[in-house]
Amino acid sequence: MSAYIIRRLLLMIPTVFGIMAVSFLITQFAPGGPVEQALANLSGVSGGVEERLTGSGTGDFATQQSGQGNASGYRGSQGLPPELVERIERQFGFDKPPIERFFSMIGNYLRFDFGQSYYRDISVIDLVLEKMPVSISLGLWMTLIAYGVSIPLGIAKAMRDGSRFDVWTSTIIIIGYAVPGFLVAIALIVLFAGGSFWSIFPLRGLTSPGFASFPWWRQVIDYFWHLVLPITAMGLGAFATATMLTKNSFLDEIGKQYVTTARAKGLSERRVLYGHVFRNAMMLIIAGFPGAFIGVFFGGSLLIETIFSLDGLGLLGFQSVVTRDYPVVFATLYIFSLLGLVIGLVSDLAYMWVDPRLDFESRNV
């Protein structure tokens, strides 16, 4: 087991390096980078913008990265003093060759030094930590609730396969899976958040004004009251997927020979189900839990965060790409890639926890 874990950890190094290298290469050809935008603003806006972009308050971004070429390639630099153009390039770290910028970035990231945001007066790591509670709230509770409902429902559907209960629940699940989450979010706002009918739930944010002064029990109620609509809008897709996955896993196990043997020995259906089938069928479900949480945590909440005015990591990543805030883009990509690989390893170890018969030492990767 230890040898397998070490191999997987070592394999993460070239994997992350490759992800960062390809992403960095793509940015070399992306138009409208931060330097280009700064030069365009300086060409068409008053000197106040020039002071804001080139003053000492923005800091030195010599260690940051982006692919934009030299000053002569920027149309926004026409008519500007060459000294000013060079200062802006140096400010954003584009006065160095791309290879040097890339390896400087990798060296800093190995020390978990992610630098400063281009357009926010805050370090990247502090910015990510500031947005993380929203994404954790959405990802954690949505995943727990979806699995908490889907596993019992999937087991019930497997035990009643082909019955009227199975058909009706499958119909509801398929409809819920087919409807996009953002449409559900809009419908919930119209119905329950003061859109056109009832004003039962809050429309935006995770807490109410004056939250800090509430007693603890009211803070708990207020927090969960704000989560009802976004969690409902996000949970339908995951709810459907986990339910059908659970059902199919149990059906697959129920049809195997060891179940027939257990029944022939006179074991009760409950003993067969929870003493034998449950452990084997839940392998796929448990192993997929970390990945499901990370998927929701990092990428599944952009539209929901926007609709419900929740300032989380999904919205941060989208805004950073649009504004070409490359320190935030690359830092979040680096962090998410590492976490994704670690979660893949955790999923494999979850298989072993459910079924110790699995032998990881014999695997090549």
Collapsing DSSP to helix, strand or coil, 193 comes out as strand
Give percent of the chain with pLDDT exceeding 70.
73
Query: Facing residues of 193 across strands?
Result: 199
Q: Which fold has domain 125-322?
A: MetI-like fold (1.10.3720)
Q: What is the 3-state secondary structure of 242-308?
A: HHHHHHHHHHHHHCCHHHHHHHHCCCCHHHHHHHHHHHHHHHHHHHHHHHHHHHHHHHCCHHHHHHC
Query: Can you give the pLDDT at residue 333?
Result: 85
* Per-residue model confidence (pLDDT) at position 52: 41
Q: What confidence tens digit (pLDDT) does each residue in 300-329 have?
A: 567 788 788 788 877 787 888 888 888 888
Percent of the chain whose pLDDT exceeds 90: 3
Residue with tokens 């370090």: 123
On whether the CB atoms of residues 67 and 31 are closer than 8 A, the answer is no
pLDDT at 280: 77
Question: Is the predicted pLDDT of residue 19 greater than 60, yes or no?
Answer: yes
Output the pLDDT for position 88. 66
Task: For residues 344 and 347, give the distance between their C-alpha atoms in angstroms, rounded to a whole number.
Answer: 5
User: Which of 88-92, 331-335, 344-348: highest mean pLDDT?
Assistant: 331-335
Burial of 361 (0-12, 13-18, 19+ CB in 10 A): exposed
| pLDDT reading at 118 higher than 60 | yes
Tell whether the model's pLDDT for residue 48 goes beyond 70.
no
Is pLDDT at 363 greater than 60 in this prediction? no
Listed by start position, the domains of the chain span 27-119, 125-322
pLDDT of residue 210: 85
The per-residue pLDDT for 358 is 64
pLDDT at residue number 257: 85
- The identity of residue 309, as a single letter, is S
Residue type, 328: V
pLDDT at 60 over 50: no
pTM: 0.68
- What's the CA dihedral at 75, 76, 80, 81 to 10 degrees? -70
Which residue would you say has higher pLDDT here, 141 or 54?
141
Query: Is 265 in contact with 242 (CB distance < 8 Å)?
Result: no
- Lowest mean pLDDT of 71-85, 189-203, 333-347, name the range: 71-85
Contact status, residue 249 vs residue 285, Cβ threshold 8 Å: yes
